[in-house]
Structure formats: structure tokens, C-alpha cells
Structure 1
Amino acid sequence: MIFAYYLHDLSPFVIKFTDKIAIHWYGLAYVLGFYLTYQVMYFLAKRGLSEIKPEAVADFITLVSLFGLVLGGRLGYMLLYNFDEFIHAPWTFFLLNQGGMASHGGIAGVTLFCGWYAWKHKISWAGIGDSIVCGAPLGIFLGRLANFINGELFGHVTKVSWAVKFPTEMLHEDFVRQGGDPALAYEVQQRGLQHSPQIIEYFEKHRGGLAELETILHPRHPSQLYEALGEGLLLSAILIFLRLRFPRLRQGIIAGLFFILYAIARIALEYVRQPDSGSEMIMGLTKGQFFSTFMFLVGGVFIAYGIIWGKSPPGKAAVAPAPAKA
């Protein structure tokens, strides 16, 4: 039997040792994202297009990844998307293994950390930003791919030929809104089925198999892949091209373009992405779209700074010190 749409059947685990110990694709995406950002920053530093010396890039990436991206992303998720739980059970902030990261929080965390790092080493905050934004979208690219593998953050129902049927939609309130059986959704949730292979296995053992599952699910936009390309791969390619094509471009302009282009991509692509369960609209916008509007202001500030006060990159004599030896 040939089905019209791809049935998502990917596992969130790269390898699973026990029920509680496993390597997740999402975690691997973070690690690879840090590594690729390091490679891009090192590449730019070697060409004098960074405030940070090549030998200091590794330590910088380690610090900004932990104190900027991870903590900022987690805090952003708790404040922007899960505020009630954060207030009533603040210790859940530390339960990183349960998921929950916000890209806007991660971007804000990285921005603030770069400001602190620039102050500490007395170098240009905007100059650091110009370097890190060239590589950071590659981490976004990998993160969105991991979202697709996990079967989360999928899109609206559609009839496009490349649509995907996500078994995990039964965990989302939109499943019932689209005519799905609420009793079935309740049963799936009560059994603790959290990812596609679990739900597929349940249908094969206890219900009508894949044939029944296919008739229940709705074809949806693989919006995670759209975002991986738009917010990640394409954005990184544009910024790296501009950094190399215009090496004397004043510090702050590349960083400002990142904020503006990311906001445009995020707002546009959110129109095909299904909002999270329980997520309320703000002024007719999804939360992701609403929070992205503020990035236009941030981007404008960076660009204005670059035009008025910004200097050109330092050239081969990058000024940030290498880490002091103990």
C-alpha cells in the first residue's frame, strides 16, 4: 500500500543505552552547532575579521555556549513560554533533560554575554557580534533539523505534496480541533507515548496498524525544515558572504543585519508553523512573531552604531587577548 504523504517515524535518540541514559539528536545538534560556530569564528579570526585572536576563539565559544546560549535559551523559554510553571516551580529551570529552549532567549543571552566579554577585554562588542552571527545560524539550522527528527514544532495542515504526517500531533491540541478523536488523544497521552516510533508501535500492536494511523493523522507543513533553511543555513551563507565580500564594513552592521534578517525569516515562516499547545496570540501574532518584532529595533541600533561610530575590523592584528594561563 502506497501512502500519499511521508509518515514521520524518526527516533529522537542517536543511541539509547537505558530508559534514562541516551544520546539525543537535539543534544548532538547543540554540540555540532558550537563546533561549526567555532570553525567560522576561527576562520574569520585568521583573516583579521574578528576582534578575537584565533587562539582565544575556543575558550570564547565554550563560555558563550554555556553562559549565553544554554542559560539564556532556557531562561527565555521559562519566561516567555512557560512562565506559570517557572513561578510556581522555579527549580524546573534546571531540568534541561526535559527540553524547553527558546531561540529568542538564546540570542538575548549570547548578546548580553558578548557585551560582558567585550567590557572585560576592552574590545568592541559590535565587533564580536559581527563574528559570532556568521556562524551561530548554523546552530539554528541543526537545531531545527533536530526539531524535525523529534516530530515537534510541526506546521499547519496542508495539501502540498511534500507534507508530512506526524504521529506526535496526537499530543497537540490541534489534533482534536482538526477532527481527531479526543479519546484516542487522551489514551496516547496517558500511555506516555512521546515520539513517533512509540506511537507507531502502539498502533501496530494494539490498533489497526499503519493503515489506521494514516487515516487519523493530518498532512502538515514540515515547517522545521523551512526554518532550518531560512533562519539557519541561508542566513549564515548571506552573512559570511557579506563579511568576506566587504571586509572593511564597519563593526556592528553585520550583527544588525543578523537581527533584522532573522526576524524577517522567523515572522514569515511562523505563518505555516502550528503554535504550541496552549500558546496565546499577542496582537494577532504568535509569540514567536511578536518577540521577533523587537529584533528589528535591536538590529537597527547595531546598524546605526556601525554607521555613526563603528570602526572597520582590526585586520591581522586582532586585539583580544588569548586566555591567561593558570
Structure 2
Amino acid sequence: MPNWIYTHNLNPILIKLGPLEPRWYALMYLLGFAATYQLIARNPRFLGMGFNKDDAMDFLTYGFLGVILGGRLGYVLFYNLPMYLQKPWEILMVWTGGMSFHGGLIGSIVAIMLYARHKKIPILRMFDIVAVPAPLGLLFGRLGNFINGELWGKPTAGNWGVVFNATGGGPEPRHPTQLYEAGLEGALLFIVLWLAFRYAKNLKEGSLGGLFLLGYGLGRSVVEFTRIPDVQLGYLLGTNWLTMGHLLCVPMILGGLAMLVWANRPSAPSLQDSLAQPISKTVEKAASPTSSEQPVPEAEEPPSENNENK
């Protein structure tokens, strides 16, 4: 059998510019942002959303800030709070690493809700819209993790694996969990796009958002069995398998199931009807003052000798 063992020797620093050392990880975030923008803004009929370039930039700015702020705060709160309480200034040092997917998810959900409220857009419709490009951004993020040589998995006895000796993984081949998750996000992207374009008329509003939460939560839970827990946390509740990632996936799975159940209630609008309403027109309608709408006078019936006042 062929041997698929790779020794990781990638330099996480993209280029040195004097004291500045921009990293591939930061570039992956920017590429994810750019790819999502291209997917939305360059396709005016994308999912029937009617996003123009201004809509797309506003939407992605909200989402980008939510991911960055939520991801950083999530890492601080979920994974390394004691250390950051001793050195709170390091919370701002995002370039040193330390982001939480689940924190980024919470931050992006808050940002989406704020955007939807600001633009007067139904929240479930926004979750459906976000569910399409989200796996693309996550895929780039996991590739950044792999280049950094971080978040590697347990040692593997199979004929595939990656040696992360240069980044603390030791000489034994390990599960490349970053690539497992990148593959998961690629599969999710394919499934969501396929459903959105092929079966939109048979789906209900909120279905894509619920599918994304459920699918990622289940997939990430499986990948967690091959990951090494964070050193400062270890395995939880006295087990030799339960990680913080497992616990944080539970709300995702339950939330995804709840969204799917709610989306498939009899009175729910179809996904096709929901996405057929352009965002720009929705915003313009919401921005128009109701006081400026003048009622159209009804045409008066001409007098007739046969008409009687009663």
C-alpha cells in the first residue's frame, strides 16, 4: 500500500517586511472574505437574493467583524481564561493566534441578527443566505490552521498522516484534523449549494441555516475524536474522550434541529419564495417613510337619476 506520510515544514510567515511578519493564517481569512464577496456580489442573481455590491459589502463587514471578535473572545473565554486574566493585553494580540470556531459562530450569529434587524430582513432568510458562503470561509480558515501547523490530531497507525515535529507534534505521524475539517466544509458547501439551486422550491425558509448548523455540529463532533484536547483543559468530566469541542457542538446540533423543525411547520414560507425577494428592494421598502405614501383617491361614481340616498 502507498505511504501517505507528509512531514510538515511550511513557514507560517508569509513575508517579512521589517518588523512586520504577516502570516498565511491572516491571508486565509482575507481570501475567505474575498471569495465570499465574489460569490455574492459578482452574481446578482445569487440564490435570488438581489444583493448589490453595497449590500454585499455591508453584509460581509458585519459578518467579518462578528467572526473576528467572536472568535477571539470565544477562545479567551472557552479555552484560556486564566492566562488572559493575568495578561489581559494579550487579548488584543490576534496575530499571535488563538481563535475559536464556536466563538466565531456566536459572533457571526449576533452580527447576522443585527444586520437583519437593521435592514428589516426576516432572520431565517438571513440564516439561509449565510449558510451558503459560510463553509467557504471556514475552509480557508482550516487551511490556515494547517499551514500554521496547529490543531493537529492524535497519532495515527495508518498509512496516512502528517508529522508536525516542527510545531510540537513530535516525530510520529498524526491525524491532519485541519484537513479533515476543510474536507467537511467543502462537502457542506457542495450539499448546501446543491440543495439551494436544485430543490429550493421544495425547501422551507430556514432549512439551509438549520442544515448547516446540524451538519457542521455532527461532522465536527466526529472529527473531535481524532483531535488532541487543549493542554490547559484536557479531557472533560473525567473521561478520556470528551473535549470542549464536543460540548460546544451540542448547542449547534440542537439549534440546527430546532431550526429544521420550525422551518418545516405547515405555515412556513418556501425557500424559493423567500429568496425571490431582492434584498435591495426590501431595504428600500423598509427605508421609505410611511407618511410619504399618499392614498390614491377612489374614482367617484357619476351621479345618476336612479341612485337614491339611503
Query: Do the structures match in fold with TM over 0.5?
Result: yes
CA distance in 2, matches of 1:22, 1:89: 23
- Spell out, residue by residue over 1:89-113, the C-alpha distance to the aligned partner (whole angstroms, 9 max, x if none): 3332211121111000111111111
* Residues 47, 315 of structure 1: 8 Å contact kept: no
Is contact 1:221-1:272 (8 Å) kept? yes
Q: Secondary structure at the match of 1:41?
A: helix
Give the TM-score, by structure 2 length: 0.81
Of 169, 183, 188, which residue of structure 2 is paired with 1:229? 183
2:69 matched residue in structure 1: 71
Find the residue that maps to 1:16 and give its secondary structure: coil
Q: Which residue of the other structure, out of 296, 311, 319, is the alignment partner of 2:269?
A: 311
**How do 1:55-204 residues align onto structure 2 when only pairs under 5 Å count?**
55-66=54-65, 68-170=66-168
CA contact (8 A) 2:4 2:160 kept: no
Deviation of 1:310 (Å): 3.6
| Structure 1 residues 259-299: Cα deviation after superposition (integer angstroms, max 9, x where no partner) | 10001110101111122222232344111111111111111
Question: What is the letter of the counterpart of residue 257 of structure 2?
Answer: G
- Structure 1 letter corresponding to 2:231: S
Question: Which residue identity is paired with 1:103?
Answer: F
Partner SS state of residue 104, structure 1:
helix
Q: Deviations over 1:206-255 (max 9, x none)?
A: xxxxxxxxxxx11111121111101x211111111111112232221110
Q: 1:251 is paired with a residue of what secondary structure?
A: coil
The aligned residue for residue 248 of structure 2 is 291
* Structure-1-length-normalised TM-score: 0.77
Gaps of 5+ in 2: 288-310
* Cα pair 2:80 2:232 within 8 Å, conserved: no
Bigger relative CO (Cα 8 Å, ≥ 6 apart): 1
How big is each residue's C-alpha offset from its partner over 1:60-92, in whole Å with a ceiling of 9 and x where there is no partner? Answer: 1022201x1100111111010111123333332
- Which protein is bigger by CA-based radius of gyration? 2
Question: Counterparts of 1:6 and 1:64 in 2: how far apart (Å)?
Answer: 35
2:257 alignment partner in structure 1: 300
* Structure 1 residues 259 and 78: alpha-carbon distance in aligned structure 2, compared to 1, 3 A threshold: same
CA-to-partner distance for each residue in 1:44-64, whole Å, 9 max, x for gaps? 752453375554112210222
